[in-house]
């Protein structure tokens, strides 16, 4: 059984997620999901019993009883019923967490089982499909296929293989009957063969492709209806059944593979430099082919690391529901863009920042129902979590329609807590005041609770997003709501950058920060309020000497013609004056360690083709002050 433990944990987490999402929908009054919730609990029960996890099997059995009573109208859906079902889900998650750490399930199921069973004394022993079989057994001739499956002679875990076949077929339609019955299949109480009656619109080819994903199947035959007249139509020979369709690979091995691809990219850059330096024409064709192969390999590895944001987003509906209930607030939580993909490493890092932002929305943003009605709003607040792809990065938006951020209140709190002097507060613009919420130690909560008030949260969010090479933008209007926009790179390993020269050193600017490049003449540069500016399509942009921003002596005296890179910083465009443009190149990002890690203005380093190390500029942390002339 130990060899199936990882598969069990992975599959169980998916079913628990389905349970959580279904219960949230059920609480909103959508009773159509009850069958889906029931099936998830039933499948978990069968899997747990097969693996010998008695505590999990006991809890899911009691959940199944209660859900069946709800489905039959014997028990009404109340807040108490939903709370107990969520308590059971939490206990199951704790058991899976214990199993994933190499321990036993380590749970006591008695208390939760007692709470579940108090709603109904009726013990339901029949399988999830029993009721459906009664309705559909007479319709087997219409749209129902009989799939006869035979397992290998040396198959050790028959019930597991039967379950996997069930899972694949259930995604294609409705299982209305099985021979022997499902309970015997779950217990492994059958020989080597079994039959499943599937109501589906899928073709025989689609069914065969699905079952090829299940190993240790020696024979599969598909028949239309209950008769065997077309016995040869859907037959799959044992040689057609592939034993392995997918391979589980740890993220560490993918990281190692990405590092090797990175070294390959560096070596490729070196080869191009050698070709250009020595003008070796014979290398052109080979290098072009190597470039193509390297790019394809890089894209394939990056694609393997991409994961849909739903795997993080799906954690939050339950959290928002519990927080809102605890705070006595009504919240309509909306999620959009779950299918947007991010690098697994980036995705793993954004969970905590999103938790902080959503908790902030519930605690500080959304008002109580009474307060909202008093202000002319609906008593139910709205919180939006949205992901969208923009060019070569992903934006994650967290938005609420609550109180908004009052700049004057923020300044007053900052002065009271010693984070700001009164003079500094007076000089601050409203936009600057709002950004104070990202200051370490700042909190607008009037009292410390287990949700907020300790001054830890939004500064952590900002620092984490910046460390990922992203940016955080804030928009807020008093009485209307607040909107946080997190801009994140698709991957942290390899990116395209613009190489520039300043003061004799080469620097890299990630292309997702670059808006455009200009060759500015001396007469194009003006001075406004002591700040050099240029005019771009009717808009005045400040221009900064890059070396000056990096704390070095500027390489120029006064204005002169030079390249200017227009970059986006904090939602505004600024110009960076440099000595020379070198060109666009793929770079491998290496993190800065030790004392260099805290140096502002740099996001990392990269190794050039000739072995030199170049620093990657972090536009978000460059020391550019607020220019009042724009």
| Residues taking part in catalysis | 42, 64, 360
Q: Say if strands 144-151 and 217-224 run parallel, antiparallel, or are unpaired.
A: antiparallel
Cis peptide before 180, with omega less than 30 degrees from 0? yes
- The string of DSSP letters for 204-263 reads HHHHHHHHTTSSSEEEEEEEESSS-TTTTTT-B-GGGS-S-S-----HHHHHHHHHHHHH
Q: Count the neighbouring beta carbons within 10 Å of the beta carbon of residue 245.
A: 10
Between CA 566 and CA 581 the distance in angstroms is 13
> Taking CA 485 as the corner, what is the angle to CA 306 and CA 500, rounded to the nearest 5 degrees?
75
Using alpha carbons, list the distances in angstroms from residue 595 to 548, 589, 617. Answer: 21, 18, 17
- Residue corresponding to tokens 């190149």: 585
Between CA 230 and CA 223 the distance in angstroms is 6
Among 26, 13, 15, 21, CA closest to 81? 26
Using alpha carbons, list the distances in angstroms from residue 399 to 342, 354, 362, 474. Answer: 20, 11, 11, 10
| Helix, strand, coil fractions of the chain, as percent rounded to 5 | 45, 25, 30
> Taking CA 481 as the corner, what is the angle to CA 478 and CA 486, rounded to the nearest 5 degrees?
120
Helix (H, G, I), strand (E, B) or coil at 48: helix
Name the helix (H) or strand (E) containing 162: helix 158-170
HEC assignment per residue over 247-272: CCCCHHHHHHHHHHHHHHHHHHHHHH
Using alpha carbons, list the distances in angstroms from residue 493 to 299, 384, 496. Answer: 12, 30, 11
Between CA 114 and CA 65 the distance in angstroms is 12
Crossing angle (nearest 10°) for helices 79-100 and 5-27: 160
User: Which token pair is 204?
Assistant: 């025989």
Using alpha carbons, list the distances in angstroms from residue 190 to 57, 80, 223, 366. Answer: 21, 41, 21, 57
């Amino acid at each position: 059984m130990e060899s199936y433990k990882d598969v069990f944990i992975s599959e169980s987490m998916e079913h628990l997620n389905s349970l959580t999402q279904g219960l949230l929908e059920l609480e909103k009054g959508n009773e159509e999901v009850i069958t889906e919730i029931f099936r998830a609990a039933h499948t978990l029960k069968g899997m747990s019993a097969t693996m010998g996890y008695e505590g999990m099997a006991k809890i899911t059995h009691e959940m199944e009883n209660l859900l069946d009573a709800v489905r039959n109208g014997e028990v009404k859906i109340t807040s108490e019923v939903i709370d107990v079902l969520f308590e059971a889900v939490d206990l199951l998650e704790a058991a899976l967490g214990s199993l994933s750490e190499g321990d036993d399930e380590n749970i006591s199921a008695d208390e939760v089982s007692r709470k579940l069973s108090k709603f109904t004394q009726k013990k339901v022993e029949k399988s999830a499909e029993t009721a459906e079989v009664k309705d559909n057994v007479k319709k087997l001739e219409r749209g129902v296929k009989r799939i006869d499956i035979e397992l290998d002679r040396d198959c050790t875990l028959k019930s597991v293989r039967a379950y996997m076949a069930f899972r694949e077929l259930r995604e294609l339609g409705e299982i209305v009957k099985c021979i022997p019955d499902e309970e015997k299949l779950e217990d492994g109480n059958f020989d080597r063969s079994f039959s499943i009656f599937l109501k589906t619109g899928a073709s025989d080819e689609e069914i065969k492709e699905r079952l090829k994903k299940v190993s240790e199947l020696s024979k599969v035959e598909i028949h239309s209806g209950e008769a065997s007249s077309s016995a040869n139509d859907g037959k799959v020979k044992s040689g057609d059944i592939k034993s392995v369709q997918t391979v589980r690979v740890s993220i560490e091995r993918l990281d190692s593979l990405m590092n090797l691809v990175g070294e390959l990219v560096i070596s490729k850059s070196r080869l191009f430099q050698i070709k250009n330096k020595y003008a070796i024409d014979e290398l052109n064709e080979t290098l072009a082919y190597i470039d193509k192969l390297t790019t394809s390999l890089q894209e394939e590895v990056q694609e393997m690391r991409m994961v849909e944001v739903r795997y993080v987003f799906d954690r939050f509906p339950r959290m928002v529901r519990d927080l809102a209930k605890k705070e006595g607030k009504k919240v309509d939580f909306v999620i959009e863009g779950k299918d947007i993909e991010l690098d697994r490493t980036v995705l793993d890092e954004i969970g905590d920042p999103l938790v902080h932002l959503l908790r902030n929305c519930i605690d500080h943003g959304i008002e109580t129902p009474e307060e909202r009605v008093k202000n002319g709003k609906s008593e139910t607040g709205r919180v939006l979590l949205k992901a969208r792809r923009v060019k070569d990065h992903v934006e994650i938006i967290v938005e609420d329609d609550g109180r908004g951020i009052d700049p004057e209140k923020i300044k007053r709190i900052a002065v009271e807590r010693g984070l700001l002097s009164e003079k500094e507060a007076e000089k601050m613009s409203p936009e600057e005041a709002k950004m104070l919420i990202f200051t370490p130690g700042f909190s607008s909560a009037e009292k410390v609770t287990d949700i907020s008030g300790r001054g830890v949260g939004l500064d952590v969010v900002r620092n984490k997003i910046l460390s990922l090479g992203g940016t955080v933008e804030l928009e807020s209007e008093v009485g209307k709501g607040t909107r946080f926009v997190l801009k994140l790179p698709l991957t942290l390993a390899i990116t395209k950058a613009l190489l520039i020269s300043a003061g004799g050193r080469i620097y890299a600017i990630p292309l997702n920060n670059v808006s455009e490049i200009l060759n500015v003449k001396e007469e194009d540069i003006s001075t406004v309020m002591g700040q050099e500016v240029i005019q771009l399509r009717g808009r005045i942009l400040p221009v900064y000497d890059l070396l000056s921003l990096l704390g070095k002596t500027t390489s120029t005296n006064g204005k002169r013609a030079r390249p200017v890179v227009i970059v986006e910083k904090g939602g505004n465009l600024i110009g960076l004056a440099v000595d020379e443009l070198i060109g666009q190149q793929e770079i491998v990002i290496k993190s800065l360690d030790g004392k260099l890690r805290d140096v502002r203005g740099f996001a990392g380093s990269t190794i050039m083709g000739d072995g030199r190390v170049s620093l990657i500029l972090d536009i978000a942390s460059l020391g550019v002050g607020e220019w009042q002339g724009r």
